[in-house]
Structure 1
Amino acid sequence: MEQDLRDASTVSRIGRAALYERLPLLRAGYAAAALWDTGTSEIDVAALHQGYLRMFKKNGGTVMTRAIVTDLVYSAVGWQIATPQGDFTAQRVVNAAGAWAEAVGQMAGAERIGLVPKRRTALMVDAPAGCDTGSLPLTIDVAEEFYLKPDAGKLLISPANEDPEAPCDVQPDEMDIALCVDRIERAFDLSVKRVESPWAGLRSFVADKSPVAGFSHKARGFYWLAGQGGYGIQSAPSLAQYAAAELMGKPVPEYILAERLDPQTIQPDREGLGL
């Protein structure tokens, strides 16, 4: 992992003493070292979503809910899209259907990308008495078997699971919750007495865990925007500008290419997808 992060100037290795000074909640003897990242920030996801919606509506966009796509056919006048809220026509369709993106792609006659929705469970628990949660860092197990972060005076914890699940309104699994509590209690000096607000979500991945962004090579005017996995929020601004450039026939912004992105690595026809 250190080798993978060798170019990350904000990441450094810290030893046992520094680790326990910064994370006193860690159980004695649990860890000998850690990677410390000073370049991260927390994103207010709800505020970001609302901001995007305001921008979308300001630019003339219309949000239609309860409008599941029931039919998607390309004709001489473009895409014919049938929904319970009415029928629509469009020259181009952007498939940003999340866990349902593979199903929408098949409805359109596009290539398969092998998208797999995976369940992630999280829950809130009380911090130990006297614990200053405000000073605690987000802590992720090196094998990504759990994470813990402070949240409004409590602790948000997760088993960091990735369990395949059919597209649905997913609910937290009791086994996930029990596994999470066990892992957290083994790593940290705390005893979970009560679980609050458990929830689950679907994070969708393709085989190489990179996003899929690009025009279908089988369905005319059909654009894939799927497979963001657990990094959709962080990648949204740049990935949206990348997709917008392609959809409008403009060059991909230089600041994106400057980050050493090879556009072929996120195309829907890249090797290894759809298996």
Structure 2
Amino acid sequence: MQDFLIIGGGIAGISAAARLSGLGSVTLLEAEESLAYHASGRSAAMFLESYGNTVVRALNSASADYLRHAHGGVLSPRPMMLLGAADEAEGFAAQAADMGLERITLDEAAARWPLLDRSHTAHAALREDTCDLDTDLFIQNFLREARAAGAKVVTRARVEAISRAPSGWQVRAGGQDHEGRVLVNAAGAWADQVAGLAGVAPIGIQPYRRSMARIALPEGMDPSGWAFVDGVGDRWYAKPDAGALIVSPGDEDPMEPHDAWADDMVLAEGLARYQDFSTAPVERMIANWAGLRSFAPDRALVIGRDAGAPDFLWMAGQGGYGFQTAAAASELLAQTAGGATTTLDPEIVAALSPARFAKTN
């Protein structure tokens, strides 16, 4: 009998394992052969404190110190730039203000992103204090913490059944039975399905597809120092990656939970929007992929005890914010599990609690 059984081996589950292992014995169950296989392994993560709604931003800010300093830090400088066409002036201004970007000239924009097509670009804004987030290093840091504290990780353990045990829960996964006093639902796109197996009311977690393409750049170009570039309305964005560019159409199509793949037409349309602002034609796609970003109805994370089952903890609804919020989110989860006082504002804690979705009669 473990103290905590965690279902899901993405950044939510791995960070939860690291934090909860300080409170008791932990087993993490992952359906796939490797950890971080789904959304967590397919992210083009950046760190921007002003990304997301008010609740998400509070977690961003609370995570910042850990991201910068723990284990030597996982952040490296990467300015963020917003580009807009002449007919996007209103949306450009609103988005730049919301994300704290300052307007710059097109000359300054071209210095940050040499591909800039001035014939189409009318507006540019920049923020210097944003960062790349090393997702693999971040995952490995938490995983080392968890294992050093005795946490057990079991892969190829797809959950088949969940039932009540005399002192908590029994989970049948990968043909084996596991028992735990507390069950942690960190199952990403499958979070509502896991809740259903446990007899817990679903919250309404909705997965949305986000597609990516890695494209080749003209010979001789080194993008390592370029900015992360976003289009108005997040209808496309581009980030340097290993000598190439990752370009996303910013799609958000509702999907059932599955091993996601990119839609060719969606990618083509997004690359066309990117191409409007770039002087370099897209001549070769090196690779493409997609992940599922899973949101609660109000687009805030879901962290804490289920209103109807206090030994069932939610760690779900990370959406597109999983990495940048993981440090504070996992700390809150452990504080909740251990009955400790949290340093977060009580209103933020309430806005993250699963109790906000409890039906009242």
TM-score, normalised relative to structure 2: 0.69
Q: Which runs of 4+ in 1 moved over 4 A?
A: none
State the 1:158 CA deviation.
0.8
Q: Which residue of 2 aligns with 1:240?
A: 330
**Is 1:63 the equivalent of 2:149?**
no
SS in 1 for 2:232: coil
**Is 1:213 the equivalent of 2:299?**
no
State the 1:261 CA deviation.
5.9
Residue 272 to residue 33, structure 1, CA distance change in 2 (3 Å): farther
Identity of aligned residues (%): 34
**Of 62, 82, 86, which residue of structure 1 is paired with 2:176?**
86
Residues 169-223 of structure 1: CA distance to partner in whole angstroms, max 9, x if unpaired?
Answer: 1122212221222112112111111111211111101122110111111224001
Q: Which residue of 2 aligns with 1:265?
A: 351
| Amino acid in the other structure paired with 2:240 | P
Query: C-alpha distance in 2, partners of 1:31/1:70?
Result: 52
Query: C-alpha distance in 2, partners of 1:204/1:27?
Result: 34
**Of 213, 226, 235, which residue of structure 2 is paired with 1:123?**
213
Residues 57-99 of structure 1: CA distance to partner in whole angstroms, max 9, x if unpaired?
Answer: 1110111011111111224321121122411211111100011
SS in 2 for 1:269: helix
SS in 2 for 1:90: strand
RMSD: 2.0
Cα contact 1:109–1:219 (8 A) shared by 2? no
Query: C-alpha distance in 2, partners of 1:132/1:144?
Result: 24
Higher relative contact order (CA 8 A, sep 6+): 2
Q: Which residue of 2 aligns with 1:29?
A: 119
Q: Which residue of 2 aligns with 1:49?
A: 139
Query: C-alpha distance in 2, partners of 1:111/1:264?
Result: 18
In structure 1, the gaps of 5 or more residues are: none
Q: How many residues align?
A: 265
| Amino acid in the other structure paired with 1:205 | F
Query: C-alpha distance in 2, partners of 1:172/1:191?
Result: 21
Q: Which residue of 2 aligns with 1:110?
A: 200
Cα contact 2:159–2:173 (8 A) shared by 1? yes
| Amino acid in the other structure paired with 2:185 | N
**Is 1:249 the equivalent of 2:339?**
yes
Query: C-alpha distance in 2, partners of 1:197/1:136?
Result: 21
TM-score, normalised relative to structure 1: 0.89
Residue 261 to residue 148, structure 1, CA distance change in 2 (3 Å): farther
| Amino acid in the other structure paired with 1:70 | E
Cα contact 1:108–1:219 (8 A) shared by 2? no
SS in 1 for 2:140: helix
SS in 2 for 1:105: helix
| Amino acid in the other structure paired with 1:119 | R
| Amino acid in the other structure paired with 1:228 | Q
Cα contact 1:148–1:155 (8 A) shared by 2? yes
State the 1:262 CA deviation.
1.5
Q: Which residue of 1 aligns with 2:88?
A: none
Residues 127-176 of structure 1: CA distance to partner in whole angstroms, max 9, x if unpaired?
Answer: 13443412310001121001111112111111111111111111222122
Cα contact 2:165–2:179 (8 A) shared by 1? no
| Amino acid in the other structure paired with 1:136 | W
**Of 162, 167, 183, which residue of structure 1 is paired with 2:252?**
162
In structure 2, the gaps of 5 or more residues are: 1-94
Query: C-alpha distance in 2, partners of 1:65/1:184?
Result: 38
